[in-house]
């Protein structure tokens, strides 16, 4: 599966993204962050869906377009990382994911936009491939 690496430019290299376009479940079943991630390709775009973990019940964050795809190095066209962003009313979450040894490693940077006293926080979780 080949996709454009940078969706906001017209001259980006095409990336092969099959290692990412899968369904992923958190390796930690007791996570209070992200329970699962689903990546799918539509045309020349990747889309990501996140389910949060809320006291044992999944909470669907919805689906957003991946902002950019990244190769494993500057000479490669094998896409193995992505960046996506969720905008909630009170919170913005920047997701940065990469494939490593068959796992999806997902870093999430949460920035509060509601003026509360909560600290912006960071999480890093690991996901294994699952059949959907």
Q: Which residues bind another protein (CB under 8 A)?
A: 5-6, 8-13, 15, 32-33, 52-55, 59-62, 68-77, 80-81, 83, 88-91, 93-94, 96, 98, 107, 109-112, 116-122, 124
Cβ proximity to another protein: between 45 and 122 the closer is 122
Q: 100 vs 8, 67, 80, 119, CA distance in Å?
A: 26, 20, 8, 29
Cβ proximity to another protein: between 55 and 102 the closer is 55
Q: Shortest approach of another protein to residue 57 CB, angstroms? A: 9
d(CA 120, CA 131) in angstroms, rounded, equals 33
d(CA 117, CA 57) in angstroms, rounded, equals 26
Q: Shortest approach of another protein to residue 11 CB, angstroms? A: 3
Q: Shortest approach of another protein to residue 99 CB, angstroms? A: 9
d(CA 80, CA 59) in angstroms, rounded, equals 26
Cα 111 from chain centroid (whole Å): 16
Cβ proximity to another protein: between 8 and 102 the closer is 8
Q: Shortest approach of another protein to residue 101 CB, angstroms? A: 13
Cβ proximity to another protein: between 72 and 129 the closer is 72
């Amino acid at each position: 599966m080949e996709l454009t690496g940078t969706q906001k430019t017209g001259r980006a290299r095409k990336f092969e993204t099959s290692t990412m376009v899968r369904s992923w479940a958190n390796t930690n079943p007791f996570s209070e962050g992200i329970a699962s991630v689903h990546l799918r390709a539509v045309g020349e775009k990747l889309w990501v869906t996140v389910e949060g973990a809320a006291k044992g019940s999944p909470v669907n964050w919805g689906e957003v377009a991946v902002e950019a795809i990244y190769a494993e190095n500057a000479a490669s066209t094998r896409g193995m990382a992505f960046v996506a962003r969720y905008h909630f009313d009170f919170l913005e979450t920047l997701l940065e994911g990469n494939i490593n040894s068959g796992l999806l490693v997902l870093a999430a940077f949460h920035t509060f936009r509601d003026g509360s006293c909560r600290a912006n926080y960071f999480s890093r979780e690991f996901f294994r491939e699952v059949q959907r």
